[in-house]
Amino acid sequence: MFKSLLTGLVATVLSVGCSFAQSYPTKPIVMIVPFAAGGPTDVVARIVTEHMSRSLGQQIVIENVAGAGGTTGSTRVATASNDGYTIMMGHMGTHGAAPALYPNLKYDPSKDFEPVGLAAGTPIIIVSSAKIPASDLKSFIAYLKANATKVNQAHAGVGSVSHSTGILFNSMIDLKPTQVPYKGTGPALNDLVSGQVDYMTDQIVNVVEQIKGGAVRGLAIATPERSPALPDLPTTKEAGLPDYQVSAWNAIFAPKGTSKDIVDKLNSALTAALADDNTKKRLLELGAVLPSAKEGTPAWLGDFVKIEVARWSPVLKAAGATAN
Ligand code: MLT
């Protein structure tokens, strides 16, 4: 008697769970972008979620929750309900570099999230104010060293992509500039254009248009090959700093415990977005690198996060980064 009741109860729970996932989503989904609007993470998020919203049949609403290099927003998602209605766009900073810089980080990138999928690779560009009288990387580095006590570098908070890749660059040229933190490299770029700050290392999707328009100066891209989006921008190898090789990435995560069915639905919507001609065109025009099919699965992202966290810790320690 009891056994058949229990069996019936389990079957009911399972069928309710399955029907919940089958009907998901039945209301708008919130995607936390842990940086200010208008920056690279926000831009990648808005481009891919436009198509994802259509294929899911519910709006994905972007909510910018900035602070602490992206860890404030990431913590919010790590502790959110795992019902599939709160997800985030994380990246190499929030889910790679942050643990090395925040010993008391309130989340573990590898344990407190369900990886959904990689959205875009975002090569790093060394970019300066157009007011600085240095038209190539070598003369720019000479200018920085000659003005070491005066120059300043913008970034999006300790542990962000622009902060961690900036530390790497500064350590390679033996420079300790004044650091100017922002809630994202969107606002930082405004001050780079106006000359309030001197340089930053930022994700290509944020600076392509401004470099093309001459509002800021691209000095080199830190990837082995030039970007089709900026064919005239030399690589760091061509520009005389071959060891500075670094690329960032942006990826979607859900809270730990989000069901596989829901994660798979979100991953399918992301994959469809990245296969959509218009979405692809917009991302490629900004210099993003699209994931291959192999790189597009939740399992691949889960393994990749573990590799990134392990990679960045020694790199940042060697570069003299201090934990917060
Ligand atoms: C942003 O969206 O502002 C950037 O991803 C911040 C950073 O990590 O540099």
Query: What would the pLDDT profile of 111-123 be if each residue is shown by its tens digit?
Result: 999 999 999 999 9
Does 3.20.20.300 match the CATH number of domain 124-239? no
Q: Which CATH superfamily is domain 28-121+249-318 in?
A: Bordetella uptake gene, domain 1 (3.40.190.150)
Question: Between these two residues, 17 and 237, which has the higher pLDDT value?
Answer: 237
Find the helix packing angle between 204-213 and 40-56, rounded to 10°.
Answer: 120
* Spatial CA neighbour of 313 closest among 135, 102, 140: 102
Q: Which atom of ligand 1 is nearest to the CA of 186?
A: 3
Model confidence band, residue 6 (pLDDT cutoffs 50, 70, 90)? low
- Check for a shared fold between 28-121+249-318 and 124-239: yes
Would you call 255 helix, strand, or coil by DSSP?
strand
Place of tokens 């998602």: 77
pLDDT at 1 over 90: no
The pLDDT value recorded for residue 2 is: 59
Q: Is 186 in the pocket of ligand 1 (CB under 6 A)?
A: yes
The pLDDT value recorded for residue 19 is: 58
Q: Is 161 in the pocket of ligand 1 (CB under 6 A)?
A: yes
Q: Is 140 in the pocket of ligand 1 (CB under 6 A)?
A: no
Q: C-alpha distances in angstroms, 223 versus 94, 220, 241, 254, 258?
A: 21, 9, 11, 29, 35
pLDDT at 13 over 60: no
Q: Which atom of ligand 1 is nearest to the CA of 43?
A: 2
Q: Is 249 in the pocket of ligand 1 (CB under 6 A)?
A: no
Q: Is 185 in the pocket of ligand 1 (CB under 6 A)?
A: yes
Model confidence band, residue 18 (pLDDT cutoffs 50, 70, 90)? low
Q: Is 90 in the pocket of ligand 1 (CB under 6 A)?
A: no
Q: In 10 A of CB 16, how many CB atoms?
A: 10
User: Rounded to an integer, what distance in angstroms lies between the CA atom of residue 108 and that of residue 114?
Assistant: 11
Among 32, 33, 41, which is best to mutate for testing ligand 1, by the most ligand atoms less than 8 A from CB? 41
Domain boundaries, the chain: 28-121+249-318, 124-239
User: Rounded to an integer, what distance in angstroms lies between the CA atom of residue 189 and that of residue 207?
Assistant: 8
The pLDDT value recorded for residue 271 is: 98
Q: Which atom of ligand 1 is nearest to the CA of 184?
A: 3
Q: In sequence order, what are the residues at sequence separation of 6 or more whose Cβ sits closer than 8 angstroms to the Cβ of residue 290? A: 120, 121, 274, 280, 283, 284
pLDDT at 74 over 80: yes
Q: Is 165 in the pocket of ligand 1 (CB under 6 A)?
A: no
Among 63, 153, 155, 160, which is best to mutate for testing ligand 1, by the most ligand atoms less than 8 A from CB? 160
Among 32, 33, 35, 65, which is best to mutate for testing ligand 1, by the most ligand atoms less than 8 A from CB? 35
Cα(207) to centroid of ligand 1, in Å? Answer: 12
Model confidence band, residue 94 (pLDDT cutoffs 50, 70, 90)? very high
Nearest CA to ligand 1 atom 5: 41
The pLDDT value recorded for residue 115 is: 98
pLDDT at 81 over 80: yes
Q: Is 205 in the pocket of ligand 1 (CB under 6 A)?
A: no
